[in-house]
Amino acid sequence: MIYGAGKTLFKVFGRLRPKWFSSGKSRVQDIGLIGCGQFAYATIGYSIWRKYGNRFAACYDIDRTNHASFALFYGLSPDASSATDVIADERVKFVYIASNHASHTPYAIDALKAGKTVFIEKPISVSIDQLRCLASAVCSASAPIYAGYNRPFSGAIRNLRTEIGSLNKPMTLNCFVSGHVIGPDHWYRRPQEGTRICGNVGHWLDLAVHMLSWGELPDRWHILIAYSNTSSRDDDLSIALTSERGDLINIVLTARNEPFEGINETINFQQGDVIAKIDDFRRMTIWKGPNIHKYRYWPKDVGHNMCLIQPFSNIKRDWKEVEMSTLLMLHIANMVINTKSSSDFSFSSELSKAFN
Ligand SMILES: NC(=O)c1ccc[n+]([C@@H]2O[C@H](COP(=O)([O-])OP(=O)(O)OC[C@H]3O[C@@H](n4cnc5c(N)ncnc54)[C@H](O)[C@@H]3O)[C@@H](O)[C@H]2O)c1
């Protein structure tokens, strides 16, 4: 129940897919959804429903059971036989994409070309080629695009930002993440889906890029990766990044046992005279010089609600930050694929290689 009663109920419905219950309708139906899996059903559906009611107009999934059960719960006609049908639907002004990772970029490009506002789940792309095509589509699009990296929208990160302002000093950020156990046949593991670096670790790389962007994002980085096991390299590993300015980012992903309450995160931070400890986005303590501030977040606030309503609210993320974090994520995914332990990375040179 750490996510609160409403979200827990949607999560249970997402797993059970009941045939006897529907979420009701709002007056406006203008959202098309591609990928009717657990995240769409329980988290996207809930975050929109709690604020705006059920605004879904159409949905599509390659799995007809997931498609039909989502359509039933959200009161939609299950007629769409492709993502193109959803995008072309005249009622649809907003396209949410929560399908497999390799399909995010092509669906987003199609939706942008059709003039629709796009919300794309993470990762936005699983290769540099995809990122290049997406960036070009975003540049020529008439409608905006938003990404599903939610940690920057959490209460803790927003409160920390308010306490710090924009200190242009080196930061230390340590993220210890107990992630889900993912079986050997899970689709995240398919080579074309970009590894768990794209599937999971991208969240904390993106958080780091977001927090670094409160000041000036350092250009050049050295990256070290320690693998606990070279046969499943993206399950239990430590990634350390140091910048030319002296920033130190460390991300440990461990997935040795299924965490009972879902992903569990401990984040430690220091910059200037500020020290912060974030305990699983449920509590945060900030020491600022001699002052101590304590925060509690109930239900646990990883930022999903605020992130997922970006298309309708005035709190939005700078898309360029997401492109930068994706460049870094793809570089690290490539290191993991090739079992590399050490590498240099520069945002400016990766940007010019990728986009010129
Ligand atoms: N932001 C977060 O915290 C967060 C958390 C969990 C999942 N996610 C993201 O949400 C997305 C969905 O994850 P999930 O946990 O719901 O997985 P899931 O396996 O439950 O759902 C994925 C759905 O996509 C469908 N699908 C696969 N290929 C498709 C295609 N080409 N076209 C249309 N549908 C297709 C599958 O049939 C399935 O129903 C992923 O991108 C995942 O990374 C984000």
| pLDDT tens by residue, 111-127 | 999 999 999 999 999 99
Residues 135 and 201 in one domain: no
Residues 31 and 9 in one domain: yes
Distance 316 CA to ligand 1 centre (A): 23
Residues 218 and 292 in one domain: yes
**Closest residue (by CA) to atom 6 of ligand 1?**
39
Give the total number of structural domains in the chain.
Answer: 2
Q: Is the predicted pLDDT of residue 167 greater than 90, yes or no?
A: no
Query: Would strands 145-147 and 117-120 be described as parallel, antiparallel, or unpaired?
Result: parallel
Residues 21 and 77 in one domain: yes
Which of 82, 112, 147 is at the close of a domain?
147
Residues with CB under 6 A from ligand 1: 34-40, 61-63, 66, 83, 98-101, 103, 121-122, 148, 150, 199
Considering the domain boundaries, does residue 285 fall inside one?
A: yes
Q: Mean pLDDT over residues 129-158, rounded?
A: 98
Atom of ligand 1 lying closest to residue 148 CA: 1
Task: Please give the residue range of the domain that contains residue 169.
Answer: 152-300+318-355
Atom of ligand 1 lying closest to residue 102 CA: 31
Cα–Cα distance, 309 to 17 (Å, whole number): 24
Considering the domain boundaries, does residue 309 fall inside one?
A: no
Contacts 24+ apart (CB under 8 A), 246-249: 246/170, 247/170, 247/171, 247/172, 247/173, 247/212, 247/218, 248/170, 248/171, 248/172, 248/173, 249/172, 249/173, 249/174, 249/208
Q: Mean pLDDT over residues 118-139, rounded?
A: 98
Residues 11 and 125 in one domain: yes
Mean of all residue pLDDT scores within the chain: 96
- Helix (H) or strand (E) segment spanning residue 351: helix 347-355
Distance 98 CA to ligand 1 centre (A): 5
What count of Cα atoms within 13 Å lies in the side-chain half-sphere of residue 87? 20
Cα–Cα distance, 155 to 305 (Å, whole number): 11
Residues 256 and 351 in one domain: yes
Considering the domain boundaries, does residue 313 fall inside one?
A: no
Which of 105, 128, 147 is at the close of a domain?
147
Distance 121 CA to ligand 1 centre (A): 8
The tens digit of pLDDT for each residue in 89-98 reads: 999 999 999 9
Report whether 211 contacts 323 (CB < 8 A).
no
Cα–Cα distance, 313 to 267 (Å, whole number): 27
Residues 323 and 283 in one domain: yes
Confidence at 19, pLDDT banded by 50, 70, 90: confident
Look-up of token digits 């991300």:
251
Query: Would strands 274-279 and 264-271 be described as parallel, antiparallel, or unpaired?
Result: antiparallel
Distance 149 CA to ligand 1 centre (A): 14
The tens digit of pLDDT for each residue in 47-92 reads: 999 999 999 999 999 999 999 999 999 999 989 999 999 999 999 9
Confidence at 22, pLDDT banded by 50, 70, 90: confident
Residue 199's pLDDT is: 97
Atom of ligand 1 lying closest to residue 149 CA: 1
**Closest residue (by CA) to atom 39 of ligand 1?**
37
Distance 34 CA to ligand 1 centre (A): 9
**Closest residue (by CA) to atom 10 of ligand 1?**
98
**Closest residue (by CA) to atom 11 of ligand 1?**
98
Considering the domain boundaries, does residue 307 fall inside one?
A: no
Residues 156 and 40 in one domain: no
Considering the domain boundaries, does residue 305 fall inside one?
A: no
Residue 327 belongs to a domain with what CATH number?
3.30.360.10
Closest among 117, 116, 134 to 125, alpha carbons compared? 134
Q: Is the predicted pLDDT of residue 166 greater than 80, yes or no?
A: no
Candidate of 121, 204, 304, 308 to mutate for ligand 1, largest count of ligand atoms within 8 Å of Cβ: 121
CA distances from 284 to 77, 210, 267, 280 (A): 44, 18, 9, 9
Say which amino acid occupies 177: V
Distance 188 CA to ligand 1 centre (A): 9
How many residues in the chain? 356
Closest among 183, 320, 171 to 242, alpha carbons compared? 171
What residues are paired with 181 via a beta bridge?
none
Residues 121 and 211 in one domain: no
Percent of the chain with pLDDT over 70: 100
Considering the domain boundaries, does residue 44 fall inside one?
A: yes
Joined together, the tokens standing for residue 300 give 């646990």
Confidence at 237, pLDDT banded by 50, 70, 90: very high
Q: Is the predicted pLDDT of residue 23 greater than 90, yes or no?
A: no
Considering the domain boundaries, does residue 308 fall inside one?
A: no
Residues 70 and 120 in one domain: yes
Atom of ligand 1 lying closest to residue 121 CA: 41
CA angle 310, 315, 318 (to 5 degrees): 85
**Closest residue (by CA) to atom 19 of ligand 1?**
37
Residue 31 belongs to a domain with what CATH number?
3.40.50.720
Query: Would strands 291-296 and 342-346 be described as parallel, antiparallel, or unpaired?
Result: unpaired
Cα–Cα distance, 218 to 28 (Å, whole number): 44
Considering the domain boundaries, does residue 243 fall inside one?
A: yes
Q: Is the predicted pLDDT of residue 230 greater than 90, yes or no?
A: no
Residues 166 and 25 in one domain: no
Report whether 170 contacts 247 (CB < 8 A).
yes
Which of 147, 181, 206 is at the close of a domain?
147
In which region does residue 287 sit, left (phi positive, over 0), alpha (psi from -120 to 50) or beta (all else)?
beta
Residues 105 and 162 in one domain: no
Joined together, the tokens standing for residue 173 give 């950020």
Confidence at 20, pLDDT banded by 50, 70, 90: confident
Cα–Cα distance, 78 to 142 (Å, whole number): 29
Query: Would strands 31-34 and 274-279 be described as parallel, antiparallel, or unpaired?
Result: unpaired
Distance 193 CA to ligand 1 centre (A): 11
**Closest residue (by CA) to atom 12 of ligand 1?**
98
Q: Is the predicted pLDDT of residue 206 greater than 80, yes or no?
A: yes
Residue 158's pLDDT is: 98
Candidate of 44, 61, 87 to mutate for ligand 1, largest count of ligand atoms within 8 Å of Cβ: 61
Distance 38 CA to ligand 1 centre (A): 7
